[in-house]
Amino acid sequence: MLIGSHVSLKAPKMLLGSAQEAASYGANTFMVYTGAPQNTKRKPLDEMKIPEGRAYIEEHGFSHLVVHAPYIVNLGNTLKPQNFAFGVEFLRQEVQRAAAIGATQITLHPGAHVGAGAKAALHQIAQGLNEIITPDQKPQIAIETMAGKGTEVGTSFEQIAEIMDQVVYNEKLSVTLDTCHTNDAGYNVKNDFDGVLEEFDHVLGLEKLQVIHLNDSKNPQGSHKDRHENLGMGTIGFEALSYIAHHPQLEQVPKIMETPWVPLADNPKKKVAPYGEEIKMITNNQFDPTFVERLSHSEN
């Protein structure tokens, strides 16, 4: 099983620090943003400690690394065409950064139509991907399933297929299935994941599923809210999430957690990562209902 989490990539250790953080959680894969997810400021490749990081990654047996593109790139916004060219150029460079650090997938929020309608957004996203993708690039762009808050697109497998069908080199596209988003979009992740997987296979092809974001949800199925919860503490529940993580058809798909950090009981402004505990529970297929409470009283 490939299991890991989002980890930070920041100075001074950059990629080396990311890999070391992932190792501290007991992970064998991980995901990074190449800079802050809320902006598009990025350091030059020669400042990202890539040789040191890649040596550590190889030494510790990490594989199937994922880059997450920043949230604010919205290729679907047809109402602000001045932003489209910038988004395309940024994502071209993100492909280069992902390749340089050894990532195989780039998770991308497809975007939002901001009032112009889903059809217009889906067409423009495909147009942007046609400008970004080259036939010889190594990382795939993994379009993420979205919850449907606001005017988000990519809330159904059919909408993602509509994008892919318009992209020339669509073998360079894949899908990130976020369990929280997919639940909140209306799919029965909790009680019928095999049915969800069968529908995915019918609409997109199971070979397109290359990343799973393994998150519980604070909200019920179909709520269109997109609020992540710690594993076993939300409406999807540990049993369903562990079933997904151990699913035999998804063995070689990296499962990445983006669950909330836990505030300390005596200092709520300070938070600790839950990922080591969550990876342990998933690996052992055994839920510990006290893990959040224990973390909130930890010394870390």
Task: Pick out the chain residues at pLDDT < 50.
Answer: none
Q: What is the CA radius of gyration of the chain?
A: 18
269 domain residue, yes or no: no
Task: Single out the residue of 124, 43, 140, 135 nearest to residue 87, CA to CA.
Answer: 124
Torsion angle of C-alpha atoms 147, 34, 29, 101, degrees rounded to 10: 140
CATH number of the CATH domain containing 29: 3.20.20.150
Residue 20 CA to residue 183 CA, distance in Å, equals 32
> DSSP 3-state helix, strand, coil percentages of the chain (rounded to 5)?
40, 15, 45
Q: Which residues have C-beta within 8 Å of that of residue 171, sequence separation ≥ 6?
A: none
- The SS3 of residue 211 is strand
219 domain residue, yes or no: yes
Task: Single out the residue of 270, 156, 284, 149 nearest to residue 217, CA to CA.
Answer: 149
Residue 41 CA to residue 18 CA, distance in Å, equals 18
Q: Mean pLDDT for the chain?
A: 97
Which residues define the annotated binding site? 68, 109, 144, 178, 181, 213, 226, 228, 258
31 domain residue, yes or no: yes
The answer to whether the bond into 289 is cis (omega within 30° of 0) is no
288 domain residue, yes or no: no
Which residues define the annotated binding site for Zn(2+)? 68, 109, 144, 178, 181, 213, 226, 228, 258
291 domain residue, yes or no: no
Q: What are the angstrom distances between the C-alpha of 205 and each of 155, 193, 208, 239?
A: 17, 16, 6, 25
**Pairing relation of β-strands 216-217 and 228-229?**
antiparallel
Please give the pLDDT value at position 300. Answer: 54
Cβ–Cβ < 8 Å for 117, 159: no
Count: domains in the chain: 1
Q: What is the pLDDT of residues 139-166, one digit of tens each?
A: 999 999 999 999 999 999 999 999 999 9
Cβ–Cβ < 8 Å for 164, 170: yes
Question: Which amino acid makes up residue 155?
Answer: T
How far separated are the first and last CA of the chain, in Å rounded? 28
In DSSP terms, 174 is beta-bridged to 142
Cβ–Cβ < 8 Å for 235, 249: no
Cβ-count burial of 186 within 10 angstroms (0-12 exposed, 13-18 middle, 19+ buried)?
Answer: middle
- Report if pTM > 0.85: yes
Task: Single out the residue of 106, 108, 111 nearest to residue 137, CA to CA.
Answer: 106
Task: Tell me the residue range of the domain where 58 lies.
Answer: 3-260
209 domain residue, yes or no: yes
